C-alpha cells in the first residue's frame, strides 16, 4: 500500500480509517499532532478547518504518494475549499465516511463538496461497519 495522507474536519473519521487500514484496534482519540503510520499520515482536523494551517498540510503531504480528503456526510458545514485538490502536485482522492449512518441526501452533499474541491475519484465507506474499506485498500495497493 502506498503512503496516503488524510485531511479532513475534526471527527470526520481519519484516525479510525488509519487504524482500520493498518489492522489496529479501533479506538477513539483526538489527533493532536500529525501522526505517522506505516502507510498513512493522520492530520489534526484543525489543519483543514483553519486556513492558517494549510501550509502544514502542504508540507506534510510531501511524504505521501496520494492525498485523501475525508468528508463526513453527517456534518452540515463544508470545510473543503473550492479547487483544493489543485494545491497538491499529486493525486487527490475523496473519501466519504460514515455512510452507514447517513442518508442519500447527506452523502450527495459530501460528494458535491469533494467535487467542488476539484476531486474526481471518490470512495464511500464506513470504517466502523466495514463497508467500502477493502475497495480503498485495494486501490491504495495498486497506486504506483
- Tens-place pLDDT, residues 51-77: 999 999 999 999 999 999 999 999 999
**What are all long-range contacts of 53-56, with beta carbons under 8 Å and residues at least 24 apart?**
54/87
Q: Does pLDDT of 130 surpass 70?
A: yes
Q: Does pLDDT of 144 surpass 90?
A: no
Confidence of residue 143 (pLDDT cuts 50, 70, 90): low
* Backbone dihedral angles phi then psi of residue 13, each to the nearest 5 degrees: 110, 15
Fold category of 4-142 in CATH: Rossmann fold (3.40.50)
Average pLDDT, the chain: 95
- Predicted local confidence at residue 1, as pLDDT: 79
Task: Region of 83 please: left (phi>0), alpha (psi -120 to 50) or beta.
Answer: left
Q: Does pLDDT of 13 surpass 90?
A: yes
- Tens-place pLDDT, residues 20-50: 999 998 887 788 889 999 999 999 999 999 9
Q: What residue spans define the domains of the chain?
A: 4-142
Q: What is the mean pLDDT of residues 112-130?
A: 97
Amino acid at each position: 500500500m502506498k503512503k496516503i495522507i488524510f485531511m479532513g474536519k475534526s471527527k470526520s473519521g481519519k484516525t479510525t480509517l488509519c487504524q482500520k487500514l493498518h489492522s489496529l484496534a479501533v479506538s477513539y482519540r483526538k489527533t493532536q499532532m500529525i501522526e505517522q503510520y506505516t502507510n498513512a499520515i493522520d492530520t489534526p482536523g484543525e489543519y483543514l478547518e483553519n486556513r492558517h494551517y494549510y501550509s502544514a498540510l502542504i508540507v506534510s503531504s510531501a511524504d505521501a504518494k496520494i492525498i485523501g480528503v475525508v468528508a463526513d456526510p453527517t456534518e452540515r458545514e463544508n470545510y473543503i475549499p473550492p479547487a483544493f485538490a489543485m494545491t497538491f502536485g499529486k493525486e487527490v482522492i475523496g473519501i466519504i465516511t460514515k455512510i452507514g449512518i447517513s442518508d442519500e441526501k447527506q452523502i450527495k452533499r459530501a460528494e458535491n463538496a469533494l467535487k467542488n474541491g476539484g476531486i474526481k475519484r471518490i470512495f464511500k465507506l464506513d470504517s466502523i461497519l466495514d463497508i467500502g474499506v477493502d475497495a480503498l485498500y485495494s486501490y491504495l495497493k495498486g497506486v504506483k
